[in-house]
Amino acid sequence: MTAANPLLALDYLPALESLGDDYYDIVPAAEFPQHMLRFRNDDLVRLLGLDPATVSDEDFIEAFGKFQGREPFLALRYHGYQFGEYNPFLGDGRGFLYGQVRGTNGNLYDFGTKGSGTTPYSRGGDGRLTLKGGVREVLASEALHALGVNTSRAFSLVETGEALWRGDEPSPTRSAVLVRFSQSHIRFGTFERLEYHNRPDLIAKLLEHVIDVYYPEARLFTDAQERYLHFYKELCDRVARLAAQWMAVGFCHAVLNTDNMSITGESFDYGPYAFMDGYDPRFTAAYFDYAGRYSYGNQPLICQMNLKALQKPLKLIMPEADLEAALAPFKDRYEAYYQQLMLRKLGFESLADDLATALVSQTIALLSAVTVGYHDFFLALAQQFSPAWREHATLIFSTTLQASDAAAASQLDDWRQTYYRCLQSLDAEKMAGVASLLKRTNPETVLLRPAIEEIWEPITTDDNWQPFYDLLNKVQHPFGQG
Min dist CB 137 to Mg ion, Å, is 11
258 lines the binding site for Mg ion (CB under 5 A) = no
- Site pattern 64..93 for ligand AMP (x: CB under 6 A): --------------------------xxxx
| Region of 84-92, 94-102, 265-273, 280-288 interacting with Mg ion (CB under 5 A) | 265-273
* Strand (E) or helix (H) holding 336: helix 330-345
Q: Give the CA diameter of the chain.
A: 76
The residue among 122 and 417 lying less far from ligand AMP, judged by its C-beta, is: 122
User: What is the Cβ-side half-sphere exposure of residue 454, based on CA atoms within 13 angstroms?
Assistant: 11
The residues with which 278 forms a beta bridge, in sequence order, are 373
- Residue 103 binding result from Mg ion, ligand AMP, none, given CB thresholds of 5 to 8 Å by partner type: none
The number of angstroms, rounded, from the C-alpha of 145 to the middle of its chain's C-alpha atoms is 8
| Region of 37-45, 145-153, 253-261, 378-386 interacting with Mg ion (CB under 5 A) | 253-261
- Residue 127 binding result from Mg ion, ligand AMP, none, given CB thresholds of 5 to 8 Å by partner type: ligand AMP
The Cα–Cα gap between 152 and 94 comes to 18
The residue among 6 and 127 lying less far from ligand AMP, judged by its C-beta, is: 127
Min dist CB 239 to ligand AMP, Å, is 17
110 lines the binding site for Mg ion (CB under 5 A) = no
The Cα–Cα gap between 347 and 378 comes to 10
| Region of 26-34, 140-148, 254-262, 440-448 interacting with Mg ion (CB under 5 A) | 254-262
Judged by CB under 5 A, which of 137, 192, 269, 322 binds Mg ion? 269
| 224 C-beta neighbours (distance < 10 Å), count | 14
- Residue 296 binding result from ligand AMP, Mg ion, none, given CB thresholds of 5 to 8 Å by partner type: none
Residue ranges in 111-140 that form contacts with ligand AMP under rule CB under 6 A: 121-122, 125-128
The Cα–Cα gap between 164 and 169 comes to 10
The Cα–Cα gap between 380 and 402 comes to 13
**Dihedral sign for Cα atoms in the order 185, 119, 179, 104:** positive
255 lines the binding site for ligand AMP (CB under 6 A) = yes
| Region of 100-108, 128-136, 256-264, 352-360 interacting with Mg ion (CB under 5 A) | 256-264
Report the b/e string of 38-61 with b at 16+ CB within 10 A.
Answer: bbbbeebbebbebeeeebbeebbb
The residues with which 373 forms a beta bridge, in sequence order, are 278
Min dist CB 30 to ligand AMP, Å, is 11
Residue ranges in 258-297 that form contacts with ligand AMP under rule CB under 6 A: 259-260, 269, 271
Sequence-distant (≥ 6) Cβ neighbours of residue 365 within 8 angstroms? 411, 414, 415
**Residues in the chain, overall count:** 482
Positions marked catalytic: 259
**Contact residues: Mg ion, CB under 5 A:** 260, 269
**Contact residues: ligand AMP, CB under 6 A:** 90-94, 121-122, 125-128, 255, 259-260, 269, 271
